[in-house]
Amino acid sequence: MLAELKGLNEECGLFGIWGHPDAAQITYYGLHSLQHRGQEAAGMVLAKDGKLTGMKGEGLVTEVFTAEKMKNLSGNAAIGHVRYTTAGGGGYENVQPFLFNFQNEAMALAHNGNIVNANQLKAQLEAQGSIFHSTSDTEVLAHLIRKGGFSDLKSRVTNGLSSLKGAYAFLIMTETEMLVALDPNGLRPLSLGILGGAYVIASETCAFDIVGAEFVRDIEPGELLIINDEGMTSERFVMSSQRAMCTMEYIYFSRPDSNISGINVHTARKNLGKQLAVEKLIEADVVTGVPDSGNSVAIGYAEASGIPYEMGLIKNRYVGRTFIQPSQSLREQGVRMKLSAVRGVVDGKRVVMVDDSIVRGTTCKRIVTMLKEAGAREVHVLISSPPIKNPCFYGIDTSSREELIASENSVEEIREIIGADSLTFLSVEGMVEAIGRPFEGENRGQCLACFTGNYPTEIYTNEQSTTIIS
Ligand code: 5GP
Ligand code: SF4
Ligand code: MG
């Protein structure tokens, strides 16, 4: 059951805007800038003349929202979503935003993250007569909101959120207002901007730059924003909150031009590279990064070590991320489609190859082989994160424990498997220091669970809701 849920709602991107006549177009550009957060499906719901209308589909933003279709889309407010899924969780009914037309109200909902007690809540709701339309954990909140015995939407949302455990950034829209909520650990990034008189919400700040919006601030953990034509109000829906920002957002997931809690992602990655040079100096001729996230790290390592940075690997822009391909064999084929080694750069050289993380080890092994086939004399692999030994329950696809190469193998064994001349992972302390996320203040912490096994929330492993770590 957990596997089923985990596959559903991973690594998504959210964009919302309230109070702009070009809401549809702006949301299109916003979603496009967040495309790296999910390439499987996209959708938006628009509010216009007191009505909600939605459009969604499977594929990239440009595939779902063709020029022809965009002509018919307009509104003063919108929420949008880009979605990533692993095998089993696809299907049109799971594409967001969800749009519910009830007898007395309409409501749209979009979610980034993963609700860890969704199965338990779903079972309770079904026992009380709720009928689910999707297999997504996100729909649970819609039912909780409907069930709430309070009249106004804000109270019903607050009440619904109080039952949820895990990671969530929610955008909720009705004909008259937009609600924005972030879980009490603030596991996923979510920011507020303004564009003229309009409020803009996005998973990453890069979306603000693309649409010309001005960054205002990050949404706080446990915060609920209510935005309508009168303006914006902010509330807390939990008594206590403790930020545990996903470290993988810095390491791998976010775009280099985004800032998370005021820290630029490219700069953080470059510092991770410098820290790698502090922890491991290698005698080599060139440093090359595995695009895209490894490039910034490689630049930092080259700067600190004095070994020249070169483009030893080139990415084919027009192939989606390797992880999207569900089966192992497809994934292996995908790497070749996606990356090429530059023979002229690596032939006869001792190469330092820098990447952000090792999950299953498959991609890494293929790239090492590729570099050697292109003539590299030695390939030294540097990874800008510690070994990923524990699964993520919060919406990043680090797969089940058995699939994680570092959960079963030592660093030396992994080196052997991937065929590298040496392999170095960054230390947890080094990583935290390099990213520079200040720990002072209750809202500054970060999640390290996939490295340390120390989860910031309860996690539920089966239907009996056994809490194994809290
Ligand atoms: P592996 O070598 O373990 O097969 O794959 C690791 C590579 O996959 C890294 O280069 C990383 O950039 C990429 N990757 C793609 N999706 C994900 C993800 O969801 N989480 C992590 N940690 N890495 C991912
Ligand atoms: Fe991010 Fe790892 Fe925490 Fe998951 S477990 S939220 S990937 S830091
Ligand atoms: Mg990579």
- Gap from CA of 384 to ligand 2 centroid (Å): 15
Annotated binding site for Mg(2+): 293, 355-356
Residue 458 lies in a domain: no
Same domain assignment for residues 98 and 211:
yes
CB 243 within 8 A of CB 186: yes
Answer whether residue 411 shows pLDDT above 50: yes
What is the DSSP secondary-structure string of 406-445? Answer: HHHS-HHHHHHHHT-SEEEEPPHHHHHHHHT----STT--
- Closest to 313 in 3D by CA, of 353, 265, 267: 353
Answer whether residue 377 shows pLDDT above 60: yes
Nearest CA to ligand 1 atom 23: 357
HSE value, Cβ hemisphere, 13 Å, CA-based, for 338: 20
Same domain assignment for residues 282 and 230:
no
Largest CA distance in the chain: 72
CA distance 125 to 121: 6
CATH code: domain of residue 318: 3.40.50.2020
For the segment 25-52, the average pLDDT, to the nearest whole number, is 95
Same domain assignment for residues 18 and 135:
yes
226-283, pLDDT tens digit by residue?
Answer: 999 999 999 999 988 889 999 999 999 999 999 999 999 999 999 999 999 999 999 9
Same domain assignment for residues 348 and 214:
no
Same domain assignment for residues 216 and 301:
no
Same domain assignment for residues 317 and 232:
no
Using CB distances shorter than 6 Å, the residues near ligand 1 are 248, 252, 290, 293, 321, 323, 355-364, 396-398
- The tokens describing 96, both together, are 């967001």
Same domain assignment for residues 281 and 230:
no
Range of the domain at 385: 267-437
CB 385 within 8 A of CB 356: yes
- Gap from CA of 323 to ligand 1 centroid (Å): 7
CB 256 within 8 A of CB 390: no
How do 106-115 and 166-173 pair as beta strands?
antiparallel
- Closest to 24 in 3D by CA, of 39, 44, 50, 49: 44
Model pTM score? 0.91
Nearest CA to ligand 1 atom 9: 357
With vertex at residue 330, the alpha carbon angle to CA 329 and CA 333, rounded to the nearest 5 degrees, is 90
Where are any strands of DSSP class E within 219-370?
223-228, 231-236, 245-246, 259-260, 263-264, 286-289, 313-315, 339-341, 350-355
Residue 180 lies in a domain: yes
Q: How many domains does the chain have?
A: 2
CATH code: domain of residue 48: 3.60.20.10
125-164, pLDDT tens digit by residue?
Answer: 999 888 888 888 888 998 888 887 667 899 999 999 999 9
Same domain assignment for residues 338 and 423:
yes
CB 178 within 8 A of CB 406: no
> What pLDDT does 91 receive?
78
180-207, pLDDT tens digit by residue?
Answer: 999 999 999 999 999 999 999 999 999 9
Given pLDDT bands bounded at 50, 70 and 90, which one contains residue 179? very high
Q: Which atom of ligand 1 is nearest to the CA of 11?
A: 19
Same domain assignment for residues 69 and 144:
yes
CB 360 within 8 A of CB 408: no
How do 223-228 and 231-236 pair as beta strands?
antiparallel
Burial label for 127, CB within 10 Å (0-12, 13-18, 19+), is: exposed
> What pLDDT does 414 receive?
98
Same domain assignment for residues 277 and 178:
no
- Closest to 334 in 3D by CA, of 322, 349, 348, 320: 322
> What pLDDT does 346 receive?
98
295-351, pLDDT tens digit by residue?
Answer: 999 999 999 999 999 999 998 776 654 445 546 676 556 556 678 999 999 999 999
> What pLDDT does 338 receive?
78
Whether residue 352 has its Cβ less than 6 Å from ligand 2:
no
Residue 426 lies in a domain: yes
